């Protein structure tokens, strides 16, 4: 996307007028969609009813040509009346394996799944984008592919499956947005370059030939003690063996072993995540995690098996696309709506997989308006102010229209 938004308007008055008229009940539609999805969450690669509902809503709004992909995923191409390139907009549709503890009418009806990371909102915004652009085909210079991805939360996640299914074929760039409860409704967070961290999983199993008596640990291998020594060394690794200029964090989130109070167990295991911004640092710390675990275990005579699973890489926002989105936000809402994010989030987003192939950009959408909508992501009380949905859909529709128009102009100039 070009960066000349300060020199010429990205959207004409007619564009903006048509955008406001194409779906005057957009806010009500997206609120209804979001509440249905929130009340009926499904886990990764199990989103059959979710996908069917999304399909039905799109068809009800006149959007046709919806295709299946990646098992429970969907995509639809909105083809404009004018020739041009193709750009993508992605939403994730899966829920977390968690409990919804809010006292609201649209609380999750599932005992095992809840939309505590905003994927219901993301899907709603994507539906809004598709519906708006379907009604604005006369302004589209090219094609917008809106796609709904399963299993963002799982490992392995859904993005690589979507890529294998061809979702990026023909795309010149891809956009996405994510709810942000630290920003107020009407605020949009922008950051160029690294926007999120990578997220890998590790599992360390410490074992010996036999269990032992708690009164005589010298007669056995104290697997609990060895596991704590490994854990301590791994925590120290980040501070002493990584470049302090590159953000990285290792967190142990689970540990298990033993049942009795007076028996040293024959096996203990613990696991967690390692998150990095820099790809070289990620590779170094991965190797160190395995090496330290095995070396400490060997030092104390324990058998140690360290397993490491690569997760999503870091999201790297394309600076040119960020600048273009900033220009569109300014034109629609004023520059006061922009919040410049100073440092990357150490959370992860498998949207990053797409950016290994084509330029892309992840936007943060403010969804807070008070205590009830300010709980952090993954909190069992997480909720959003639904007044954020329609403006986000309108913004992204404008971003995609502007992107296509500028790319078409550039291609025509080169030709």
Active site residues: 94, 152
- φ, ψ dihedrals at 171, nearest 5°: -80, 140
**What stretch of H or E contains 295?**
helix 279-299
Are residues 236 and 248 in contact, defined by beta-carbon separation less than 8 angstroms?
no
> Residue 204 forms beta bridges with which residues?
270, 306
- φ, ψ dihedrals at 356, nearest 5°: -75, -15
Q: How far apart are CA 74 and CA 53, in angstroms?
A: 11
> Residue 252 forms beta bridges with which residues?
272
Q: How far apart are CA 180 and CA 374, in angstroms?
A: 9
Q: How far apart are CA 184 and CA 405, in angstroms?
A: 30
Are residues 71 and 48 in contact, defined by beta-carbon separation less than 8 angstroms?
no
Scan for tokens 């010298």, then name that residue: 218
The distance of Cα 342 from the centroid of its chain, to the nearest Å, equals 19
Strands of the 338-340 sheet, one edge to the other = 67-69, 73-79, 141-149, 82-92, 171-184, 360-368, 188-190, 338-340
Scan for tokens 């023909």, then name that residue: 170
CB atoms within 10 A of CB 22: 17
CB atoms within 10 A of CB 84: 21
Q: How far apart are CA 29 and CA 128, in angstroms?
A: 8
Question: How far apart, in Å, are the Cα atoms of 125 and each of 35, 122, 224, 250, 286?
Answer: 13, 5, 48, 33, 36
- The alpha carbons of the chain give a radius of gyration, in whole angstroms, of 24
Dihedral of alpha carbons 248, 282, 167, 407, sign:
positive
DSSP 8-state class, residue 349: -
């Amino acid at each position: 996307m070009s960066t000349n938004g300060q020199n010429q308007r990205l959207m004409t008055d007619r564009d903006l007028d048509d955008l406001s008229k194409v779906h005057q009940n957009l806010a009500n539609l997206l609120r209804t969609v979001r509440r249905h999805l929130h009340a009926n969450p499904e886990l990764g690669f199990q989103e059959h009813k979710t996908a069917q509902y999304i399909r039905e809503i799109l068809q009800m709004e006149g959007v046709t040509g919806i295709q299946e992909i990646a098992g429970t995923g969907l995509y639809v191409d909105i083809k404009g009346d004018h020739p041009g390139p193709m750009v993508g907009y992605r939403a994730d549709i899966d829920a977390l394996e968690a409990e919804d503890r809010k006292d609201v009418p649209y609380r999750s009806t599932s005992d095992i799944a809840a939309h505590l990371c905003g994927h219901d909102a993301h899907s709603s915004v994507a539906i809004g984008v598709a519906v708006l652009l379907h009604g604005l085909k006369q302004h589209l210079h090219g094609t917008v592919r809106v796609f709904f991805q399963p299993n963002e939360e799982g490992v392995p996640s859904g993005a690589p499956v979507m890529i294998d299914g061809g979702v990026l074929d023909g795309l010149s760039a891809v956009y996405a947005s994510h709810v942000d409860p630290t920003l107020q409704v009407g605020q949009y967070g922008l950051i160029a370059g690294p926007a999120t961290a990578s997220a890998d999983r590790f599992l360390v199993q410490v074992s010996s030939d036999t269990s032992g008596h708690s009164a005589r640990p010298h007669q056995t291998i104290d697997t609990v003690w060895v596991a704590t020594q490994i854990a301590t060394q791994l925590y120290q690794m980040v501070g002493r063996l990584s470049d302090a200029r590159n953000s990285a964090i290792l967190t142990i989130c689970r540990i298990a072993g033993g049942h009795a109070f007076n028996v040293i167990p024959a096996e203990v295991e613990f696991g967690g995540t390692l998150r990095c911004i820099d790809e070289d640092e990620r590779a170094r710390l991965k190797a160190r995690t395995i090496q330290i675990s095995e070396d400490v275990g060997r030092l104390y005579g324990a058998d140690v098996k360290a397993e490491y699973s690569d997760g999503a890489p870091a999201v790297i926002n394309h600076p040119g696309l960020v600048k273009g989105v900033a220009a569109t936000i300014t034109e629609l809402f004023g520059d006061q709506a922009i919040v410049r994010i100073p440092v990357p989030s150490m959370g992860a987003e498998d949207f990053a997989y797409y950016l290994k192939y084509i330029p892309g950009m992840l936007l943060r959408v403010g969804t807070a308006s008070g205590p009830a909508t300010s709980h952090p992501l993954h909190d069992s009380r997480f909720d959003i102010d639904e007044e954020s949905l329609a403006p986000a859909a309108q913004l992204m529709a404008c971003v995609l229209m502007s992107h296509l128009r500028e790319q078409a102009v550039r291609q025509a100039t080169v030709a």
